[in-house]
A and B are shown apart, each in its own frame.
Chain A
Amino acid sequence: MNEQQQTLWQFMAGQSDKLLSQTLQHVGLTFISLLFAIAIGLPLGILIARKRKLSGTVLGIAGVLQTVPSIALLGFMIPVLGIGAKPAIVALLIYALLPIIRNTYTGIIGIDLHVKEAARAMGMSKSQILLKVELPLAMPVILAGIRTATVINVGVATLASFIAAGGLGEFIFGGISLNNTNMILAGAIPAALLAIILDALLSLIQKMNFKKLRKALYVFPVVILVLGAFYALPTAYGSTLTAGFTPEFMGRQDGDLGLKSTYGLKIHTIVISDAVMYKAAFAKELDVISGYSTDGRLKAFDLKILDDDKHIFPPYYAAPIVREEALKKFPELEKTLDLLAGKITDSIMTDLNYKTDYLHQQPERVAKDFLISNGLYKVAKNGHNGTVRIGSKIFGEQYILAEIYSMLIKGNTDYDVATKTGLGGTKICFDALTNDQIDFYPEYTGTGLLVLLQPDPKIAKEMGHDKEKTYAYVSREFEKNFKIKWLKPIGFNNAYALMMRKKQSKELNVNSISDLKNYLDKN
């Protein structure tokens, strides 16, 4: 336990500059959006307190916006606002709006009517009543709303890293992808502390009596502005091109680390989720992205893979990994899953991915078409001899593989199937497997080696770029350490790749990663 804490501490100390900039970004994001939310929510709250008929509509719309899942909201924003700070701030603003509008409204309509009448009877004008009577008296309630909004924003701001807006989410989601608990905690603990501290500070202001509150209220907007300005600080450096890498890529030896050490690539990099990365590259928000060599969006968004001339992205086999207990429980399982072994080549996988990613066909349909054309499709037997649970990670290819396996099992055995698709990241998927939540999922030997086993760098190097050696090594180690078996490879190799828009690559005459480095060094 003590050792664990120490390593977390060491991690945080080692990454202190990143931690600081992420925390500042996080605070900045939270408060910039809060500022805008107050600027919009407060007047709206006052308006609907004046014209009560509007209150239902306004609160209703704000309420509906609040229920939109945050990832979806961020996704909607990209076509309109691109990636980075703008959509993140708008999304956070939308989440902060409801508590602020609602509390301003309830705060004002909750004021003793006699006090308002007295104010009118004394000859105060409407604006004097608002500024000297209504707002001060509603202030504790309004502040409670701002407090709620702040805490919501600190939480949602972790998702901002999905669209390259930074914040502590970079550590959290990077850690989840990289199976690095210290990294997760280095993001999660400051985020939680931030929420607790801000909540406590705001509750202090909220509990002040009216006299002190009056002074505090002059300071409050200044503080928000200053904290909001934090966001502008860390983005000062840059290069002519911008790269968007996934959190997982950022932390992998066969990823950003390798790019830096082997190629000496220095590029302005932002962290972004896989789900929006391709779209952002297509929309010219990003110039270079980290993708998968079999990804259908390569074709869909007209991207070009840069030649890995120094071989830092080794090709990896994809293969199902199964718990040994499951193999005992379902004797026919291994045989059935092996039906797919060697059947899907790189080009077939890219094509299948293209069908879902670009032609927007359902994974079920793509899976069925593929099985039929290969003579593997059999009508489901609807068996009830136990249920096999299939997992998949949260990207297109894995959905298709899960569907194909599901149909194979249903058609060839008497087992029923339950799919748990869209598990967000390698760690989540693997933890589900080791904790008996799923029976198998498709994994890649490279990920198994570098992310899950995390062997001594020497051993990793020794493995080099030999597909067979890697496969043998992970098979052995998984069996020994986790009682998990690697079945026969499916056939295709999935490797990381750097990609650019075809047109841009032609214009800049950048065809390999070395070209990219040279271009960046010159410009």
Chain B
Amino acid sequence: MIELKGISKKFGDTQAVNQVSFKVAEKETLVLLGTSGCGKTTTLKMINRLIEPDAGRVMINGEAITNQDPDMLRKGIGYVMQNIGLFPHYTIAENIALVPKLLKWDKEKIKNRTQELIQKLHLPESTLTMIPHELSGGQQQRVGLARALVTDPSVLLMDEPFGALDNVTRASIQKEFKALEELKRKTIVMVTHDVQEAFELADRICLMDKGEVVQIGTPKELLYQPVNDFAKKFLASQRLALEFKVVNIQDIWSYLPKEILKDGGSKSADLSIWEAMELLRNNDRSELLVTGNNKESKLINFEQLTKGFNQFQNGQVHE
């Protein structure tokens, strides 16, 4: 668990971060979202003391981080950065083994853990003896992730981890990332300026502007209960796509046609509207069977889905 209390930081005359407070629950992913220069990266770096705050306190698992030696603290926190920052003079294996070596793990343990990680991250074994610039950007970022995960730290900080990748690679790595079992056990704070990415990966989002927290909440809360104009405008341009992603079948259950009695081959109603649409289009089927929380199933087509979604939207606006 991570807790920030009234964190502030000034660079010269610029107030980079002003009175930021939030809590990240265990195994939760919090995304710091905002434009460039909003203070999100500075906030992140104050969690592992890459930057020391002028005021405020940071607690990790109930202990103030200032009580620990900064180097020891950092060894216990995974860190993934936009520019990856692999050591160009080390092989991939050496890059991954960096922190374990600092912690004086024995060779066998390091080797086993490295093997385990490159399999999970779909890196070919042959890359281990290569040096970073022989790898593609996507592969490098996986190595960066492996390096952060190798000691299985409970806390992971990620600074625009997919920022340097092209759109196609980014989408596929995001998907893998989401599916990675190891990440689900971690308390993660991630920084991004990409709204889609934030909505894709976050349990909760912390929207920041000019060094201050604008709103903290689930993606759905940000979309449907924005606290001010800034929050509303920030999401405006991609609103529809975001809504398709945060609203699921269960949300619009009451607007869909009557239940039918049919078993087998059914999808969960946790499916987002977006995913349901993709299934309907890609698989060339006209209808999709979904099962709601009450174990009842409904058979829906594209038209019914959009109609139900629109009705749900209208209901939200009236609230």
Residues of A in contact with B (beta carbons under 8 Å apart) = 112, 114-115, 117-125, 128, 133, 136-137, 210
Contacts and interface: CB of A to CB of B under 8 A. Distances in A.
A104 to B, nearest CB: 17
A310 B307 CA distance: 128
Interface in B75-103: 75-76, 79, 81, 83-90, 98-99, 102
Central interface residue in A112, A115, A118, A210, by most chain B CB within 10 Å: A118
B72 A123 contact: yes
Nearest to B76: A123
A125 B98 CA distance: 13
B147 interface: yes
B87 A124 contact: no
B102 to A, nearest CB: 6
A122 B81 CA distance: 11
Central interface residue in B71, B73, B75, by most chain A CB within 10 Å: B71
Nearest to A120: B50
Contacts of A118: 79, 81, 84-87
A120 B74 contact: yes
A123 B74 CA distance: 5
Contacts of B87: 115, 118-119, 133, 137
B79 A121 contact: yes
A240 B50 CA distance: 66
B75 A123 contact: yes
15 contacts: A112-B85, A114-B85, A117-B81, A118-B79, A118-B85, A118-B86, A121-B74, A121-B79, A121-B85, A122-B74, A123-B72, A123-B73, A123-B74, A136-B89, A210-B88
Contacts of A119: 85, 87
Nearest to B90: A210
Given A114-B84, A117-B50, A117-B81, A123 B99 contact: yes
Closest 10 pairs between A and B when the two form their complex, measured CB to CB? A118-B85, A123-B75, A123-B74, A210-B89, A114-B83, A121-B79, A114-B85, A123-B71, A136-B89, A125-B71
Interface in B125-149: 131, 147
Interface of B: 48, 50, 71-76, 79, 81, 83-90, 98-99, 102, 131, 147
B128 to A, nearest CB: 14
B2 to A, nearest CB: 16
A141 to B, nearest CB: 13
A124 to B, nearest CB: 7
Contacts of A136: 89
A121 B46 CA distance: 11
Contacts of B72: 123
Contact of B89 (A121, A122, A137): A137
A124 B48 CA distance: 13
A306 B165 CA distance: 87
A506 to B, nearest CB: 68
Contacts of B74: 120-123
Given A122-B98, A123-B102, A117 B75 contact: no
A121 B50 contact: yes
Contacts of A137: 87-89
Contacts of A115: 85-88
A465 to B, nearest CB: 73
A136 B94 CA distance: 14
Contact of A122 (B83, B84, B88, B102): B102
Given A122-B99, A124-B71, 12 more contacts: A112-B83, A114-B83, A114-B84, A114-B85, A118-B86, A123-B72, A123-B75, A123-B99, A125-B71, A128-B102, A210-B89, A210-B90
A112 B73 CA distance: 24
A114 B164 CA distance: 13
A140 to B, nearest CB: 10
Nearest to B73: A123
Contacts of B85: 112, 114-115, 117-119, 121
A117 B50 CA distance: 8
Contact of B81 (A114, A125, A210): A114
A511 B249 CA distance: 119
Contacts of B50: 117, 120-121
A133 B95 CA distance: 11
A136 B131 CA distance: 14
A522 B86 CA distance: 73
A137 B131 CA distance: 13
Contact of B48 (A112, A121, A125): A121
Contacts of B79: 118, 121-122
A121 B88 contact: no
Nearest to A116: B85
Contacts of B88: 112, 115, 137, 210
A124 B81 contact: no
A120 B90 CA distance: 16
A132 to B, nearest CB: 8
Contacts of B89: 136-137, 210
Contacts of B90: 210
A122 B144 CA distance: 11
A211 to B, nearest CB: 8
A261 B72 CA distance: 78
B81 A121 contact: yes
A122 B85 CA distance: 11
B188 to A, nearest CB: 15
B289 to A, nearest CB: 48
Contacts of A123: 71-76, 99, 102
Contacts of A210: 88-90, 131
A210 B85 CA distance: 17
A137 B89 CA distance: 7
Central interface residue in A112, A123, A133, by most chain B CB within 10 Å: A123
Contacts of B86: 115, 118
A228 to B, nearest CB: 29
Nearest to B75: A123
A204 to B, nearest CB: 18
B212 to A, nearest CB: 25
A62 B183 CA distance: 53
